[in-house]
Structure 1
Amino acid sequence: MRIANLKYLWNHNKSMSITKYPPEGIITPMKINKDFEYIILWMLYNNDHCTWSEFKSKPVNISPATLSKYLNILKRNGYIEQEKKGEYRITSEGRKQYTELQIKDSLESSLNYPPEVITRTREYDHWILWMLYNNAYCKWSDFLEPPLSINQSSLSKNLNILLDKDFAEKENREYRITRDGETEYFKMLKSYDLDRQSILDEECKRVCVITDKVSMFFDEYKIDDDEIRYRFLNMILRLDYTKFESTLSDELDFDKILLFLSINHPDNYPDYITAKNFALDYDIKLTTLEFFIDKIVEEKNYAIKFFELKVDDKITYYVQAEERLERILSVIIEDYIRKFTYLSKFQKQEGAQNSPPDINQLLDDVIKDICSDLFHEDLKPSLRKFLVEYIEHLAYKFETEKNLINHTDKIKGIAFQNVFEVIQSFGTSETASTVNKPVDNESYYFLHNRIFDTLDIIYFSKIDFIRMVEFKKAYFSKNTEFLGMMEKKLAKGHLSKVNDLLKDNLKNLNDVELMILKDLTLTYNGELEESLELTNEIIEKYPNEYVGYLFQSITYFLMGRFKDALSVVDLGLNMSFNILLISQKTQVLINYDHDKAQELIDKIFQDYPDNFALNRTKFLVGMTDCCTKIYDEPFKLINSLIDSNPDDSELSIMKAILYTVNHKYKEAKDWIKQTVEFNLLKGNPRVDTAAYLILSFSYVARGKFEKALDIVNKVKFHYPNHPLSHIITGLVHGFNIVYNFDKSKINKELFKKEFQKAKSMEQSEKKLSRYYQLESYILNETDGFDEAIKAIDKAIELSPEHFDIYSTKTHIYLTYNDKQDEVLALYDELFEKFPQNDKEIRHMKSFSYYALGEIEEGVKLLREGIKVYPEAIVMLNNLSVFLGGLGKFDEALEVIERAIEIEPRDANLFDSYGEILMFAEKYEAAIEKFHQALEMNPTGWFAFHTFLKLSKCYKALGMEDKAITCYEKAKVLIQKVLPGKRKMYLDQLDENIEELNKVHI
């Protein structure tokens, strides 16, 4: 209160004085253009307030147009505020900006240049960094002219490198250093022969800049511990708030987040403050705190790195890279690593009788050493896991370090790499396999990827169609800009703003434009029956226009009524041929008759190879076929589409989904992190929710449950009212129940509650059916047959024309031995209901015959099917295995070789080839085929089965060590198969397992 009163008195006295104007040198500078921003800020800084007329008066004489322009710019930037009409005041941000402009003005005529110790080398990026740090800004010519005289080519190359790394920024042809650049500048200084005092003086200059602000922060929150203060200063000097400004609007919250990291440091053990208590004590939202802690610690694109020392589920301490504790730890570990490496080499030369040093002993020695000085004794158990990951980090750091220029550095890199390899082989690392690293590290857990079908961006929606050039030209040639505004609001879910926009512009719209926009709002409100009525009206009024048929077909599609969607789109095509109608028809057929979708798109594509809609649709046809075929074309198509449309973020999401359905989960995760920027203030729900689903799915598939939980927290923070937020939560917790990733976090009620929330929010019956489908898949593993069947029957009720959902029902039946007769009856029903899926039904039914032991019936069914579908790989594969099981080896080999000739890239065919040879007791030849299958696809769904069969072959050849190794590998992989599906395959191998158990496994 005293400060406020003093400020009032100071301002009051100031306001009584005569208006002050800038000196002549500022009003009429020697340069051509006046700096109006500086003039206005000068007046407001040196007066309590200024009026419009004072800016127009002599001696400044700013014209009304120019004055209006710059006042608006300054207001938008938050530098000034208007309290009364025609009266302006400077803000605190404006004072900072004025000070910067003042410094810039004073430095403009003279530049500081780097000392000789830096210019002695040709490290031009160092010269440039020095210049940018020690001057307010620099221009291109400043580097070209003496005394630097950098040639244009080198200057361009090095400036671009600094700009790309965010060490510098360019605005109005002026180059300035960024916060990250300042951090890099101090790293650079340490590589030169400068005295420590000079470097410290430079760093102190930066501290002085923020002293007032930080002092007020420390005083307000009573931060008096010097160690916490020092850690906070260290962070705030290196982490740039502007990197977070787009998603974190309050800089004070940013400071609080850094304070949380500063407090929770191992030096403070056993003291600790939980995120929940910190949020209450320091008045910050818990979700905000958790979200940004995770962002700062996990993401790699910030100036500093943190290591997490996890004590338990509730307590995590944070160690900042390059701080005192981390540097000392690095030196200690380096010494032990050298010792370990030297002794390993020495003992190896001494002879085999000496056992090599034990990696576990190395860890014990390091922990004992560091717990005497650096860490509290109670942290020993937590440090073991921490050290393994930290050593891996150092190994990677030295492996990739570019400046390992001297002998010592090279030895250091080799030593760390050797220990890293030993750590992997001993299995102490999370990334190391329990049996063999590639098998465990690259294999994935079986999930259910049909949930991606619910994403808004998968199929062309009404929003997607109105974005297209041909649509705008046909229906909004005079209102293209308005349509763009509507589309952006709809895409972001701002329905109230859409309605307001529509009301305000009714008089500017013709009849068909108005009906199109009304239908868009009905569709995105989930009022699909009303949409059908309105699109009927459009068709009746404008029978020769394609838009009514297109929009009505999409509405039927969202309702899961595929036959109606096809009928209406065919009606439109009969009236007039249209590419957008072809795209819509194709995406309906993808769900109803995939082969016809492929035929249609291939036929039309020949005539319109450059059309965006057709290229995008052709990609979708290929992507949805990737689940059953080896198919390269979708990757070529999506890369081509992205190259042609680099600003289309939805295409990037589609590429990530393609990676996912091809089980390339790490690539999917990396691609999302590379291309998607989550912005809380400029949310894009179509893109963001899809990206979050891909990330969570990828992490679960790779067994990284904690990382998947992090995504759950982010999506619930970012989109708490979106159905996919709850689906993601339900999916992650559901598969935790199935695979038991973390027993302590199994929560069946939460899994069910989240699915229920999502279902209550979803308005599209097609999407809703997918929610029930995924839920049934999980329920079959958690709650059993009855609950799973209830859920899948509900999915069928919602989308009765979707064959894929019936496939899930057959999957549920197949996991129960006592349900095989019922599933055979279901197949007969499917033959009648889905004649277009005859090939798939025959394949599934043949498997049921095999499971029942009725192999002859299966062979008969497959022979009949192959007459109709002579190149059906799945039927040829099954027939070959069935014939092998019956002892008809020659015919079986003939069939499998025919299948391989048709599709030589399918690794599963080579596994089947090996299985036939195994049946024929040709074990060595079988082993060769099994290894060929694993080399082609080491993470294939069949891999666990292949290793089990390999173990049987090796056992038959008397090679017990290899038999045991293969069986152990199979045990690792088998844990990643759904328990129900696992049982379905293992029932056929009971005898094999019993035999192997006799080999002392």
Structure 2
Amino acid sequence: MGKLNYPSNEILSPSKLQRKNYDHIILWMLANNESCEWSNFEQKPIEIPISTLSRHFTKLIFKGFIEKFARGQYKITPKGKKKFNELSKERKKERTLSYPPKIILKSGRNYSHWILWMVYNNGFCKRADFLEEPFSINQSSLSKSISSLIQKGFIINENKRYLITQSGKVEYSKILQQYDLDRQTILEEERKRIDEITIKTSQFFDKFKITDDHVKFRFLNNVLKLNYSKVKAILKDEEDFHKIILFISINHPDFYPDYLFFEDFSRYYTIKKRVLYFWVNEIVESDLYDLKFFKIEFSPDKYYYFHSDGKLEKILRAITEEHIATNKYLEKFGRSGSLNSIIDDILDEICETLFSNHLKESFREFLPRYIKYLAYKIEIKKELKETYDKLEGIIWQNMTDLMQSQNSEALETQYEDKIKEIDKEINLNPNNYELYNSKIRILLYFNQYNDVLMVLEKMMALFPEKEIDIMIKKAYTFKKDKNLEAGLEIIEELLEKYPKDNTLHNYKVYWLSYLGKKQEALKILRSLIENEPEKGIYHDTYGEILITFKEYEKAIEEFQKAIEINSDDWFIHQTYIKLGICYTALENIDLAVQNLKIGKKLTSKIISDFETKNKWLAIVDLFLAEIEEQRYLLISN
């Protein structure tokens, strides 16, 4: 064999930011020499470790890129030459990266912001992109930041390339608001996001022949604010999510008297009525999204929807605030109206300018709740800096009293009725702990978080022996109010006082998972399992945390351990349902149905805590309905 040709040092010894590509080195040698011996790759200047060499040779032979034609002799195949050319082009091709503006780079070491900016604006990034200028993030910090973003679902790792997810795009959009970027930059970034979503929605419009521009606008406006990734774990089909948003968008007060009923919509757009009804209520009634929706009941089966900060709500708010302010000012001159008269004045104006007169009585029912909502928004303002803010606070501060002073039952909201009723019972039985719990549930349902905290303070004074239970409720209230850190602080303070209370450690696990701190959460759980192996609930919690991070196979193992240890414990009905959810995610339909039905049967037998019982029954019915629909579609096709 004559003198061998060897690759350049650039290929043999790449920079510290790049890894050696052994496939490329081997193929280079065989492409630039008639043949090579095994020993040529062990010796200088190649020096590939034997185990590495064996692994790569086996792979390249298996893929048909090289062949062994004699003992210890190898040559490249035509297919291998093609692969070699591809790898060579890849090396020569230099990616031109876009980098964040200086204001983002100079605003502290916000590594997660830098990473999101890069993966959003460059399509994908490799780890090495962050190790060099202008970032120069050290390996440890980079690993931590990337891991955190992956756990939160903002980026994914595909073949050592980091890509942004839909949730990541939403987060990226929020991050931009934190920087004093020029108007054009913000508009450009938002335009990119809108363009991307518009492509998807255009396909949706074409498929379902949606041509009304007003419907299109409302739909797009809603989709931009409602992130599918929040419900993706349960609602598997994004198209179904779009249908649900379409239902809300179509049934807007502007379109009165037109209306599409649940049944008609589900039949026309081929979505299960139960699924449609469940998710419309989740989006509109719960605090699933930050966007606040309002529901106008025209009749028991006919509702119109509109959201806060839209054109309609802004005008309604302006009119309502003007009438409230007018009443407050006139009060100073001895002229003040009742809530009845204020609402009449508002109705007269909005039914001339905003809504059909036929909706007048529906809005009469709605306005007391809406006024209370506006009053609550003013009440929770942290700072009243400007003169107008202070004036606004004065105008609204007594609105709740004004509302409660009305004797007309027609103006009393469901919330007020329930609170008055429970307060009467508490007055009669001031030492009944469960009555206070009932009041808290009502307040939480109506998002009255400040009132909840006040009740909890009172409970602490009356029932100091219930400290842990009360403080956990306080932490939960902060969670509902989207202040997870404050909730975690409460649990950590409790753990300082009661370090041996494993139930508190279990609560901490949940809070850590809410904050995306997977490894910390699982570390605590492993310790709990080791200390109390006879308690299946820790395995149940372990499985639940794994579901959060979409590790369904591992979650199944934990749920099965929980059932094996405590097959008749109080939480087992939930374990079976969660098992069913995992099998659904893994598309093992038979086991999914089997476990969901067991969970449903066990849940149906519960004779206490009906609120939780109904919640789990709703969840299991939703999954069973989804599976039934999928089976129907398979049969149909």
Counterpart of 1:382, as a letter, is S
Q: d(CA) in 1 for partners of 2:198 and 2:256? A: 28
CA contact (8 A) 2:156 2:164 kept: no
Deviation at 1:273, TM superposition (A): 0.4
- Identity rate, percent: 36
Q: Could you tell me which of 294, 302, 326 is aligned with 1:315?
A: 302
Matched residue SS, 2:233: coil
1:430: which partner in 2? 414
* Distance of 1:342 and 1:161 partners within structure 2: 53
Does structure 1 retain, via aligned residues, the 8 Å contact 2:506–2:538? no
Contact 2:176 2:186 in 1 (8 A): yes
* Aligned 1:932-971 pairs, distance under 5 A: none
Is contact 1:179–1:239 with CA below 8 Å preserved after alignment? Answer: no
Change in CA separation of 1:209 and 1:422 when aligned onto 2, cut-off 3 Å: same
CA contact (8 A) 1:424 1:431 kept: no
1:670-698 residue CA offsets vs partner (Å, 9 max, x unmatched): xx9xx989948256646677778889954
Q: 1:267 aligned to 2:254?
A: yes
Cα displacement (A) at 1:109 = 5.2
The answer on whether the counterparts of 1:649 and 1:687 sit within 8 Å (CA) in structure 2 is: no
Counterpart code for 2:201: V
In the TM superposition, residue 296 of structure 1 has moved relative to its aligned partner by 2.6
Q: Give the match for residue 219 of structure 2.
A: 232
Deviation for aligned residue 1:255: 2.1
CA shift digits 1:631-671 (9 cap, x unpaired): xx9x9675466663575447999xxxxxxxxxxxxxx9xxx
Distance in 2 between residues matched to 1:67 and 1:341, nearest whole Å: 86
Distance 1:432 1:208, change over 3 A: same
Compute the displacement of 1:250 (Å).
2.9
- Given that 2:274 and 2:625 are in contact with CA atoms closer than 8 Å, whether structure 1 keeps it comes out as no
Give the drift of 1:259.
1.5
Contact map agreement 2:298 2:359 (CA 8 A) in 1: yes
Change over 3 Å in CA distance of 1:383–1:168 after alignment to 2: same
Are positions 1:439 and 2:423 aligned together? yes
- Report the Cα distance in structure 1 between the residues aligned to 2:265 and 2:312, rounded to whole angstroms: 24
Q: 1:33 to 1:158 in 2, by over 3 A?
A: closer
Equivalent runs, 1:977-992 vs 2, <5 Å: none
Task: Name which of 276, 297, 313 aligns with 1:326.
Answer: 313
Which residue of the partner structure matches residue 479 of structure 2? none
Q: C-alpha offsets along residues 349-392 of structure 1, whole Å, 9 cap, x if unaligned?
A: xxxxx465422333223333222222222112111332333333
The one-letter code of the counterpart of 2:273 is: L
Tell me the equivalent position of 2:358: 378
Letter in 2 for 1:315: K
Q: Secondary structure at the match of 1:311?
A: strand
Q: Distance in 1 between matches of 2:122 and 2:268?
A: 41
**TM-score, normalised via structure 2 length:** 0.50
Give the SS at the match of 1:112.
coil
Q: Distance in 1 between matches of 2:362 and 2:238?
A: 34
Alpha-carbon distance between aligned partners in 1 of 2:326 and 2:311, rounded to the nearest angstrom? 23
Deviations 1:951-975 (A, max 9, x none): xxxxxxxxxxxxxxxxxxxxxxxxx
- Once the two structures are superposed, residues 591-632 of structure 1 have per-residue CA deviations (whole angstroms, 9 ceiling, x without a partner) of xxxxxxxxxxxxxxxxxxxxxxxxxxxxxxxxxxxxxxxxxx
Closer, same or farther: CA 715–696 of 1 in aligned 2, 3 Å: farther
Match of 1:392 among 360, 372, 376: 372
Give the aligned residue type for 2:264: N
What do you get for the CA RMSD once the two structures are aligned? 5.6
Consecutive unaligned residues of structure 1, counting only runs of 5 or more, are: 1-24, 37-60, 70-104, 348-353, 450-632, 654-667, 702-707, 722-1001
Is 2:154 aligned against 1:168? Answer: yes
CA distance in 1, matches of 2:311, 2:506: 49
Deviation sequence 1:532-563 (CA, Å, 0-9, x none): xxxxxxxxxxxxxxxxxxxxxxxxxxxxxxxx
Contact 2:154 / 2:169 at 8 angstroms: preserved in 1?
no
Q: What whole-Å deviation, never above 9, does each CA across 1:793-846 have from its counterpart, x for those lacking one?
A: xxxxxxxxxxxxxxxxxxxxxxxxxxxxxxxxxxxxxxxxxxxxxxxxxxxxxx
SS at match of 1:228: helix
Deviation at 1:336, TM superposition (A): 3.8
Q: Counterparts of 2:323 and 2:269 in 1: how far apart (Å)?
A: 42
What's the TM-score once normalised by structure 1's chain length?
Answer: 0.34
Distance in 2 (CA, whole Å) between partners of 1:252 and 1:35 is: 44
SS of equivalent to 2:402? helix
Alignment of 1:698-737 (within 5 A): 698-699=610-611, 715-718=620-623
User: Are 1:246 and 2:223 an aligned pair?
Assistant: no
Structure 2 Cα separation of the partners of residues 266 and 394 of structure 1: 20
Quote the offset at 1:269 in angstroms: 0.7
Tell whether the 8 Å contact from 2:378 to 2:392 is kept in structure 1 after alignment: yes
Q: Is the 8 A contact 2:170 2:227 kept in 1?
A: no
Q: Distance in 1 between matches of 2:170 and 2:373?
A: 21
Using the alignment, how far apart are the partners of 1:204 and 1:369 within structure 2?
36
Q: How far does the alpha carbon of each residue in 1:301-335 deviate from its partner, in whole angstroms, 9 at most, with x for none?
A: 33544222221211111213333223333343344
**1:281 counterpart residue number:** 268
CA distance in 1, matches of 2:396, 2:62: 64
Change in CA separation of 1:638 and 1:274 when aligned onto 2, cut-off 3 Å: same
Q: Which residue of 1 aligns with 2:279?
A: 292
| Match of residue 344, structure 2, among 361, 364, 372 | 364
For 1:568-717, list aligned pairs within 5 A.
638-639=503-504, 644=528, 647-649=538-540, 679=581, 681=584, 685=596, 697-699=609-611, 715-717=620-622
Unmatched segments (≥5 aa) in structure 2: 1-9, 24-54, 64-91, 429-433, 435-497, 509-527, 530-536, 545-569, 586-591, 627-637
Q: Give the aligned partner of residue 483 of structure 2.
A: none
Is contact 2:293-2:306 (8 Å) kept?
A: yes
Q: Is the 8 A contact 1:130 1:185 kept in 2?
A: yes
One-letter amino acid of the counterpart of residue 423, structure 2: V
The alpha-carbon distance between structure 1 residues 285 and 373, as it changes in their structure 2 partners (threshold 3 A), is same
Match of 1:986 in 2: none
C-alpha separation between the residues in 1 aligned to 2:393 and 2:578?
Answer: 34
Q: How many residues align?
A: 415
Q: In the alignment, is the contact (CA less than 8 A) between 1:423 and 1:429 conserved in 2?
A: no
CA distance in structure 1 between the partners assigned to 2:323 and 2:178 by the alignment:
26
8 A Cα contact 1:642 1:651, kept in partner? no
Task: For residues 885-938 of structure 1, give each alpha carbon's deviation from its aligned partner in whole angstroms, at most 9, with x where no partner exists.
Answer: xxxxxxxxxxxxxxxxxxxxxxxxxxxxxxxxxxxxxxxxxxxxxxxxxxxxxx
Structure whose CA Rg is larger: 1
How far the C-alpha of 1:63 sits from its partner, in A, is 6.9
CA pair 711-388 structure 1, distance change in 2 beyond 3 A: farther
Structure 1 CA distance, aligned partners of 2:61 and 2:301? Answer: 57
SS in structure 2 opposite 1:309? strand
Q: CA deviation at 1:275?
A: 0.9
Contact 1:332 1:366 in 2 (8 A): yes
User: Post-superposition shift, 1:418?
Assistant: 3.5
Tell me how far 1:405 sits from its aligned partner.
Answer: 5.5
Q: What does 1:751-830 correspond to in 2, within 5 Å? A: none
Cα 1:192/1:717, change in 2 over 3 Å: closer
- Amino acid of the residue matched to residue 429 of structure 1? T
CA distance in 2, matches of 1:158, 1:421: 49
8 Å CA contact 1:371, 1:380 repeated in 2: yes
Cα distance in 1 for partners of 2:606, 2:579 equals 14
Cα separation, 1, equivalents of 2:127 and 2:196:
27
Letter matched to residue 414 of structure 2: E
CA distance in 2, matches of 1:29, 1:276: 64
How many Å separate the matches in 2 of 1:174 and 1:441?
A: 61
